[in-house]
Amino acid sequence: MNRPIVAMFISLACAVPMMGQADESATTLHVNSRAVLVDVIVSDSSGKPVTGLSKDAFSLTEQGKQQAISFFEENGKSTPARAVEMPRMPTDVFTNFSPFPVPPAVNVLLLDSLNTRMENQGYVHQQALQFLKSAKPGTRMAIFTMGLGLHFIQGFNDDPSVLLAALNNKKNNAVETSVMLKGKEETNAQDKLLGMMSTPEGNGATAASPEMIAALQGFIRENDTSRSIDRIHLTLENLQRLAAFLQGFPGRKNIIWFSEKVPALFVTGSDASGGVASGTAAIGDEIKKTLAMLAAARAAIYPVDARGTSVNAQYTSENNPVIISTAGESIREEDMDRDSDQLQAQILAEQSGGKAFANTNGLSNVIDKIASASSHFYTLSYAPANAKMDGTFRNIKVKVQGGEYKLSYRRGYFAVEDALPGSSLSVRSHEVQKLASHNPGAVDPLLPFMDLGMPQSQQILYKILVVRAAAAQNEP
């Protein structure tokens, strides 16, 4: 079963002989055609998937203009095939062949320590392990962690025991300090200091002058803003690397992103990129590139708030409300901050075709819900009338006739070259070739072909016979 890709570039070369010329020179005709692919999850009022819809039930517009659906496919409609019964392998012989059928969508578990405070990282890790312990074989998943860089833990695998062993590995159990995210202890210390400076001294005076208090508050805000911008840049770089990996695999991918503070990639209440009050145009460009690469990889984002149902910092044992005279204001600010984080996560999820989860301690159940909800969806493709790659955001709206349905799909795309499938891999391949030309022998010639994500591990099947060194040398 062949499926179209998110944005397709076709170049046709037609040789047309020129009349009256003896050198048989030719004219080359180049035709560019782009196709946009949209995965749509259709569910009823109870959240159950709606199956059996026809192409005629769907209508799609881009920027308010009706588009002709050129390709239609229902994914996951058939009864799931049973796993192939694997023959018993001889002693010391191993294979990477998967006995399970290819699922319509695969999952990526992304554990984010860059945007999650240390006190919540351990809980997220524990919940992920709990899910893998109860997961059924055949749930295809890959695992990454995000810190100052993107770390590959385990590639796509159908065996929960393999995923569990990888995540439970000693080197993957360490809690990484989020140096760019303010922790509760730092917040409490700053609030205590401001509280002491604001302590009344009589006659309307305070322990510190209003000018000193305002100066400290300004310094804290500037420092928080600077750290936030650096954190957003790193997050975007990590997501781009993840998108480059996922572009090498066909089908839909669900990125289950456990994070406390998902960066604001969209302006609240609009479909434009941004949301960062920094005045830095480079961030907007990187946001466009990141979202375009994720769309090209057919990736839907499912942010999960790593805080669960935790209480305000003012009510923790580390805090002393007697000293803090601004406790009420601190609680309001923390509530507003949490609401803002969850709103940004919700907007990102809806824009990408996913769903956000917050205020729940059953994080392991969330993973199971996501896998179940995305097991059935429809794939639509169309060639947009406006083929210009001008960097603007194109709104997509899908409607389904025949009932009151809830639809989950990406709400648009950025018209940039980064949306072309494989574009990031081709750029990397070019850089590898450039390095090899300047440093002969420094680059393995097979490196471009063994990049993460291509080919799938099951496409190169192997069997390995493991023999002890002593036996191989006929030693006793």
Taking residues 71-90, what's their average pLDDT? 74
Taking residues 146-154, what's their average pLDDT? 89
Of residues 220 and 23, the one with the higher pLDDT is 220
Task: Band the pLDDT of 30: cuts 50, 70, 90.
Answer: low
In the predicted model, is pLDDT for residue 452 greater than 50?
no
pLDDT for the residue numbered 449: 47
pLDDT in tens, 208-230: 888 888 888 888 887 777 788 88
What does the alpha-carbon distance between residue 177 and residue 114 come to, in Å, rounded to a whole number? Answer: 8
Q: Quote the pTM value.
A: 0.74
pLDDT for the residue numbered 319: 53
- Residue 187 is inside which H or E element, if any? helix 184-197
pLDDT for the residue numbered 402: 86
SS3 state of residue 409: coil
pLDDT for the residue numbered 463: 61
pLDDT for the residue numbered 222: 78
In the predicted model, is pLDDT for residue 11 greater than 50?
no
| DSSP output for 430-471 | HHHHHHHHHSTTSS-TTGGGG-TTSS-GGGS--EEE---HHH
DSSP 271: S
For the record, the structure tokens of 98 come out as 């998967």
Q: Give the chain's largest Cα–Cα span.
A: 103
What does the alpha-carbon distance between residue 229 and residue 235 come to, in Å, rounded to a whole number? Answer: 10
What percentage of the chain reaches a pLDDT higher than 70? Answer: 71
Across the beta sheet with 299-305, what order do the strands follow?
A: 150-157, 141-146, 105-112, 252-259, 299-305
Of residues 79 and 143, the one with the higher pLDDT is 143
pLDDT for the residue numbered 451: 47
pLDDT for the residue numbered 74: 95
What percentage of the chain reaches a pLDDT higher than 90? Answer: 24
SS3 state of residue 383: coil
What does the alpha-carbon distance between residue 96 and residue 4 come to, in Å, rounded to a whole number? Answer: 28
C-alpha pair distances (Å), 362 with each of 29, 111, 260, 365: 58, 16, 15, 5
Taking residues 51-74, what's their average pLDDT? 95
pLDDT for the residue numbered 214: 85
In the predicted model, is pLDDT for residue 266 greater than 80?
no
In the predicted model, is pLDDT for residue 331 greater than 60?
yes
In the predicted model, is pLDDT for residue 419 greater than 60?
no
pLDDT for the residue numbered 23: 47
Taking residues 74-79, what's their average pLDDT? 76
Q: By the 8 A CB rule, do 255 and 375 touch?
A: no
In the predicted model, is pLDDT for residue 39 greater than 90?
yes
Taking residues 76-90, what's their average pLDDT? 68
| Secondary structure in 3-state letters for 113-163 | CCCCCHHHHHHHHHHHHHHHHHCCCCCCEEEEEECCCEEEEEEEECCHHHH
In the predicted model, is pLDDT for residue 59 greater than 50?
yes
What does the alpha-carbon distance between residue 407 and residue 388 come to, in Å, rounded to a whole number? Answer: 28
What does the alpha-carbon distance between residue 17 and residue 189 come to, in Å, rounded to a whole number? Answer: 79
Q: Which residues of 51-90 are buried (b: 16+ CB within 10 A; e: fewer)?
A: eebeeebbebebeeeebebeeebbbbeeeeeeeeeeeeee
Task: Band the pLDDT of 429: cuts 50, 70, 90.
Answer: low
Minimum mean pLDDT range among 92-106, 274-288, 344-358, 401-415 = 274-288
Residues making up the chain, counted from first to last? 476
SS3 state of residue 44: coil
In the predicted model, is pLDDT for residue 3 greater than 50?
no
For the record, the structure tokens of 74 come out as 């229902």
Mean pLDDT (the chain, rounded): 76
pLDDT in tens, 365-408: 888 888 888 889 999 999 998 888 887 889 999 999 988 899 99
Cis preceding linkage at 250, omega within 30: no
Task: Band the pLDDT of 57: cuts 50, 70, 90.
Answer: very high
